[in-house]
């Protein structure tokens, strides 16, 4: 469906360019409502699914699936409109009036700083293409899940979380400012936590490894998110805005006013925001969470790797490109290039079919990040689109294999599945050809463009450090072709090696149909982009509609670009051929023994198999360091903080005891003495108060006698 729409749009773009059609003529006043419907449809489905899903037929799985189908139709329809405009600098906000919403302070008179913050819709060439891709792939994953997740004890909750995941990514794509981008970014983090840990709450067989994996993903990505937030605040503090377009203008003016020099703090802010993408897109050194995320159901893996989570990091890096200084761009390119080859080497040694694909994703994300750092934003986004289709196909295909093999994931227990699962085999084979960079398949065009862009930047900069990304990506291309065909040969070729593969079966239609659609894109995706007559740059490989609006960066002239493209094409083809050849020698023709080669490498092989022991390193440093720091803080709190409080309490208790003793023995003693003395005196005096007249007369007489005696004694 999308292929036909894109082909029609590409043809229409050529006609529109000739006819001079404008965006104002193509888009009407209802456009904003239609675009908002794309994320709001899955959001509404999430609300209904949470409240009523368990009471609906099929536990409501059709509700979010249908919502994503409608969202995909709307997104594709508007993408075709964008293609029909045929403007490389198309921005919908410049063509028609789009609504804006005021937040925090509703008074329209407040326009400065946070009080004047407004948010709107960002819809340009880039967001149009990404929105269509995310909506379509999310719909296909939802459809696949209706078959794969049957019998799950929390079936309705799975679909509700999947719908929320899709909503967050779709809303993120059309956010025109970093604040709301960050909000939806964090919602995706929550959804990944819920979905990766979905099986941990299974009523029959709770999978505790899934609980640990979800926590690991959540905590690792939080590191990058904190860095992103700090970078955002640095930008807001400096420029008073978080709008992408306003930040582009502010950064450009700041650099121009600084004599063309980038301030160190601006470089720092760009790197801090990029670290958010390092976490979300699992780039080195925050890559450790993504392979463990395979503990979640396979549709979740496909969603994370193709349509949402990791794609968001690449999309963020692309949006940040015009805010990155040359130094920051070099850091981005080196991180991406190193991640590409680092993850690829680990993929060679893994046997879990999903974890091979996980390391493959990390490597391919490295390609995209490296391309953006090298200045090839359109090239990186081009690979993001093609990768989304063939990687979603590969993950869903692995899910089909796991489903057919009764939940077996170890490739050593498989083999001979191509005859038992022909549709799954066909779709995964074409996707493997695409990711390996074989000509005429989608990945060939996008990967070739990335390698060409890194070579262009190397030629322009003329420095050794800028040449590193080119060589790293070429080497990673050879390794990618090797381990991906290793997966195909171990899974589908040869003879069944275990009971599960002997009794495997093809998946039902609602699982195979998404595979075939995605497989078709793995074949045609790269060619569809090239149907547009307006494509220009770097040997005609880079789609015009994936360039950032008003991107001024061109590093070499046409002759240099052509030379880079030819060199990159030759290098990538040689790398792909070498990788496929060695995979055939090891796993198809069996001329080489993998076990003997692994034994020859000894400790090096074991180190790579153990993923360079980064998990152990982080456990020994970050995790245990945090625990030691926490224990020290607890000791300080107990010894000093609580000690001071407790000692003060003891002193005050002693003072209280002394005060109580003083009150008891002195104050109360004096008062009691007076009272007791008074009582005693009263007791004594009352003996004289008998009421008898004779006694009183006697006492009076006796007193008079005593008085007279005293007087006489004094006289004498």
For the stretch 558-614, pLDDT in tens is 888 888 989 999 999 999 999 999 999 999 999 999 999 999 999 999 999 999 999
Question: How far is Cα 93 from Cα 174, in angstroms, rounded to an integer?
Answer: 12
Question: How far is Cα 216 from Cα 18, in angstroms, rounded to an integer?
Answer: 54
Same domain, 621 and 550: no
The pLDDT-based confidence of 14 (bands split at 50, 70, 90) is: very low
Element housing 280 (H / E): helix 264-280
**Spatial CB neighbours of 479, under 8 Å, sequence gap ≥ 6:** 341, 344, 345, 347, 348, 363, 579
Token pair 């590193």 is found at: 468
- Per the DSSP assignment, residues forming a β-bridge with 121 are 175
| Share of residues in the chain with pLDDT > 70 (%) | 94
Same domain, 120 and 196: yes
Q: What pLDDT shows up at residue 371?
A: 96
Mean predicted lDDT score pLDDT of the chain: 89
Q: What pLDDT shows up at residue 179?
A: 94
Residue 12 has pLDDT above 60, yes or no: no
First-to-last alpha carbon distance for the chain, in angstroms, is: 147
Same domain, 664 and 542: no
Q: By the 8 A CB rule, do 296 and 213 touch?
A: yes
Output the pTM of the full model: 0.88
Domain boundary among 567, 594, 609: 609
Same domain, 477 and 544: yes
Q: What pLDDT shows up at residue 141?
A: 96
Same domain, 72 and 112: yes
Same domain, 82 and 206: yes
Question: How far is Cα 485 from Cα 592, in angstroms, rounded to an integer?
Answer: 15
Domain boundary among 559, 591, 609: 609
**Spatial CB neighbours of 76, under 8 Å, sequence gap ≥ 6:** 1, 2, 5, 132, 135, 136
Ramachandran angles phi, psi of 100, nearest 5° = -130, 150
Same domain, 495 and 450: yes
Domain boundary among 609, 624, 642: 609
Question: How far is Cα 349 from Cα 344, in angstroms, rounded to an integer?
Answer: 10
Q: Where are the alpha helices (DSSP H) in 407-555?
A: 422-435, 442-461, 464-492, 499-502, 509-530
Nearest to 350 by CA among 532, 479, 218: 479
- Which of 286-295, 422-431, 542-551 shows the lowest per-residue confidence on average (mean pLDDT)? 542-551
Same domain, 139 and 243: yes
Nearest to 545 by CA among 115, 130, 108, 195: 130
Nearest to 395 by CA among 522, 509, 500: 522
Question: How far is Cα 354 from Cα 494, in angstroms, rounded to an integer?
Answer: 20
Same domain, 571 and 627: no
User: Is the four-CA dihedral 402, 404, 410, 415 of positive or negative sign?
Assistant: negative
Nearest to 67 by CA among 89, 95, 46, 82: 46
Q: What pLDDT shows up at residue 669?
A: 84
Query: Higher model confidence: residue 344 or residue 659?
Result: 344
- Which of 69-83, 90-104, 358-372 shows the lowest per-residue confidence on average (mean pLDDT)? 90-104
- Per the DSSP assignment, residues forming a β-bridge with 177 are 243
Question: How far is Cα 18 from Cα 529, in angstroms, rounded to an integer?
Answer: 19
Same domain, 13 and 30: yes
Tens digits of per-residue pLDDT, 277-322?
A: 999 999 999 999 999 999 999 999 999 998 889 999 999 999 999 9
Residue 523: which domain range? 2-609
Structure-token pair, residue 552: 């001024």
Q: By the 8 A CB rule, do 523 and 441 touch?
A: yes
- Per the DSSP assignment, residues forming a β-bridge with 101 are 119
**What total of structural domains would you count in the chain?**
2
Same domain, 670 and 598: no
The pLDDT of 50-77, averaged and rounded, is: 95
The pLDDT of 390-417, averaged and rounded, is: 92
Token pair 């080489």 is found at: 592
**Spatial CB neighbours of 616, under 8 Å, sequence gap ≥ 6:** 610
Residue 107 has pLDDT above 80, yes or no: no
Question: How far is Cα 119 from Cα 716, in angstroms, rounded to an integer?
Answer: 120
Q: What pLDDT shows up at residue 411?
A: 95
Residue 534 has pLDDT above 60, yes or no: no
Cα 513–Cα 518–Cα 522 angle in degrees, nearest 5: 145
Count of beta carbons in the 10 Å neighbourhood of residue 110: 14
Structure-token pair, residue 631: 């224990």
Same domain, 644 and 550: no
**Spatial CB neighbours of 148, under 8 Å, sequence gap ≥ 6:** 297, 298, 299, 399, 400, 403, 507, 511
The pLDDT-based confidence of 526 (bands split at 50, 70, 90) is: confident
Q: What pLDDT shows up at residue 202?
A: 77
């Amino acid at each position: 469906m999308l292929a036909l729409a894109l082909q029609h749009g590409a043809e229409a773009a050529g006609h529109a360019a000739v006819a001079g059609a404008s965006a104002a003529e193509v888009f009407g006043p209802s456009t904003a409502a239609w675009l908002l419907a794309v994320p709001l449809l899955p959001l509404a489905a999430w609300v209904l699914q949470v409240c009523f899903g368990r009471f609906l037929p099929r536990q409501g799985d059709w509700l979010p699936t249908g919502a994503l189908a409608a969202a995909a139709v709307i997104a594709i329809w508007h993408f075709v409109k964008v293609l029909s405009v045929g403007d490389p600098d198309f921005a919908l906000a410049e063509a028609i009036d789009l609504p804006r919403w005021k937040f925090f302070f509703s008074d329209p008179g407040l326009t400065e700083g946070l009080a004047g913050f407004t948010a709107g819709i960002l819809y340009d060439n880039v967001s149009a293409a990404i929105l269509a891709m995310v909506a379509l792939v999310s719909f296909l994953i939802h459809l696949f899940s209706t078959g794969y997740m049957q019998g799950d004890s929390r079936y309705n909750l799975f679909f509700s979380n999947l719908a929320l995941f899709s909503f967050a990514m779709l809303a993120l794509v059309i956010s025109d400012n970093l604040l709301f981008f960050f909000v939806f970014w964090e919602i995706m983090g929550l959804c990944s936590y819920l979905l990766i840990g979905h099986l941990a709450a299974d009523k029959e067989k709770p999978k505790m490894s899934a609980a640990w994996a979800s926590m690991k993903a959540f905590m690792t990505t939080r590191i990058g998110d904190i860095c992103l937030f700090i970078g955002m605040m640095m930008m807001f503090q400096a420029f008073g805005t978080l709008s992408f377009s306003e930040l582009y203008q502010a950064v450009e003016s700041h650099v121009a006013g600084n004599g063309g020099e980038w301030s160190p703090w601006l470089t720092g802010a760009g790197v801090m925001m990029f670290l958010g993408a390092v976490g979300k897109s699992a780039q080195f050194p925050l890559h450790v969470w993504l392979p463990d995320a395979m503990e979640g159901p396979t549709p979740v893996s496909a969603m994370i790797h193709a349509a949402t989570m990791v794609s968001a990091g690449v999309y963020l890096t692309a949006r940040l490109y015009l805010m990155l200084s040359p130094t920051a761009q070099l850091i981005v390119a080196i991180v991406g290039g190193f991640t590409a080859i680092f993850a690829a080497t680990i993929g060679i040694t893994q046997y879990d079919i999903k974890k091979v694909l996980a390391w493959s994703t990390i490597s391919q994300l490295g390609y995209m990040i490296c391309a953006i750092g090298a200045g090839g934003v359109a090239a990186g986004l081009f690979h993001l689109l093609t990768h989304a289709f063939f990687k979603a196909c590969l993950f869903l295909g692995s899910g089909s294999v796991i489903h057919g093999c009764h939940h077996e994931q170890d490739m050593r227990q498989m083999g001979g599945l191509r005859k038992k699962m022909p549709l799954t085999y066909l779709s995964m084979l074409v996707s493997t050809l695409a990711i390996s960079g074989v000509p005429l398949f989608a990945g060939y065009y996008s990967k070739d463009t990335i390698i060409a862009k890194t070579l262009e930047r190397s030629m322009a900069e003329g420095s050794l450090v800028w040449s590193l990304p080119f060589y790293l990506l070429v080497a990673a291309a050879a390794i990618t072709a090797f381990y991906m065909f290793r997966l195909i040969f171990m899974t589908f070729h040869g003879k069944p090696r275990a009971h599960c593969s002997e009794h495997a079966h093809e998946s039902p239609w609602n699982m195979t149909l998404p595979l075939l659609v995605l497989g078709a894109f793995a074949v045609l995706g790269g060619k569809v982009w090239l149907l547009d007559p307006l494509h220009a740059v770097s040997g005609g490989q880079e789609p015009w509609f994936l360039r950032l609006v008003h991107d001024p960066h061109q590093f070499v002239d046409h002759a240099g670009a052509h030379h880079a493209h030819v060199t990159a094409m030759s290098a990538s083809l040689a790398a792909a051929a070498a990788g496929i050849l060695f995979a055939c020698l090891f796993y198809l023709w069996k001329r080489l023994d993998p076990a003997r080669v692994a034994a020859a490498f000894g400790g090096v092989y074991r180190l790579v198999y153990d993923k360079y022991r980064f998990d152990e390193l982080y456990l020994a440093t970050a995790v245990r360091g945090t625990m030691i720091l926490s224990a020290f803080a607890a000791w300080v709190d107990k010894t000093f903080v609580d000690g001071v409080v407790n000692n003060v309490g003891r002193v005050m208790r002693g003072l209280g005891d002394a005060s109580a003793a003083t009150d008891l023995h002195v104050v109360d003693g004096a008062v009691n003495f007076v009272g007791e003395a008074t009582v005693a005196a009263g007791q004594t005096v009352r003996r004289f108060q008998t009421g008898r007249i004779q006694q009183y007369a006697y006492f009076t007489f006796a007193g008079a006698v005593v008085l007279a005696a005293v007087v006489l004694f004094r006289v004498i």
